[in-house]
Structure 1
């Protein structure tokens, strides 16, 4: 969809990745405005300031870490994100908190809870296996955090699985 929007404006991409597009030529102000409008029509937003781009990179790193990697990174998440993005973690944490109004840790917890919900609904792993998979120190820690965020115990949530809907990741 992004390539099609670029093509309609006569622009040619060099690469299109999750959250990033590289194009061959510089854009005029008019082309930039037209691109923003076309992307909005398909539900996307052009981020052209460095802080917004950095926030998106942090969010993408967290979503990948929590939802798309089978094993939690061996190093702590702050080192992992810092190394992945090439910035000091304190700087990343400060920018993220200023822009999002929550800490990176809070954002990770929200995503981990969404992943727990998903795994509970699949009903393939025990709570012990889920807590290990998502790097919780214990089942008790996972259960307490789950209840604090959702208001429900994981066991009760699992019983309600047909009635309770998960939150879309982009809305977390």
Structure 2
């Protein structure tokens, strides 16, 4: 019998690797692993589940037991994946894309997300895009125009306005600042 564990704060491939190593440590065979979830073919006892919960929390992750919270975490994971897939982000309708990606009604997704995260899906999406822009600015390999193009903003001005609205400073001020630290993806909430 397959058991799927939903895991909070899995936001990158390195997180997948860490969770996969933990599954080996717990001697649980993995049949599927992705951002936010891992499936094992072995049954998990309550005692094992407690150990897994404690070990994951020590690593900055967490098990998600609530169905609504699992769904919200799947929304977050899907958005993070979308932000990093250059070809997908271009000119999508976020609500339709999420419905297709998660096979869930957007009205339910939106209501649960707003209730549990105290922000909207759209604001979370924008906050994630801005974190990606910060990352690209820090690398200093692309111009602001190239970043706007890569992130599918209609113009540099639109990107700059949204960036300032979210961060309180312009992209050029951010780039020049010595404190241009990014927020870890699992800590990004949204802008006000």
Question: Is the structural similarity TM-score above 0.5?
Answer: yes
Q: Higher strand fraction: Structure 1 or Structure 2?
A: 2
Which residue in 1 is equivalent to 2:148? Answer: 131
Q: Alignment RMSD, CA only?
A: 2.0
Mapping of 1:116-155 within 5 angstroms? 116-155=133-172
Separation of aligned partners in 2, 1:21 and 1:13: 7
SS at match of 2:63: coil
Match of 1:158 among 155, 172, 175: 175
2:88 paired with 1:63: no
Distance 1:38 1:138, change over 3 A: same
| Alignment gaps of 5+ in structure 2 | 1-17
Distance 1:8 1:154, change over 3 A: closer
2:119 paired with 1:86: no
Mapping of 1:34-73 within 5 angstroms? 34-66=51-83, 68-71=84-87, 72-73=89-90
Higher relative contact order (CA 8 A, sep 6+): 2
2:182 paired with 1:170: no
Distance 1:48 1:133, change over 3 A: same
- Once the two structures are superposed, what CA deviation does each residue of 1:79-102 show, in whole Å capped at 9, x if it has no partner? 112111111112111111111000
Distance 1:74 1:164, change over 3 A: closer
| Alignment gaps of 5+ in structure 1 | none
Distance 1:117 1:8, change over 3 A: closer
Q: May I ask how many residue pairs the two structures share in their alignment?
A: 170
* Partners of 1:112 and 1:134 within 8 A in 2: yes
Which protein shows a greater Rg? 1
Output the TM-score relative to the length of structure 2.
0.78
Separation of aligned partners in 2, 1:149 and 1:5: 36
Q: What's the offset of the Cα at 1:126?
A: 2.4
Distance 1:2 1:124, change over 3 A: closer
Distance 1:105 1:5, change over 3 A: same
2:115 paired with 1:115: no
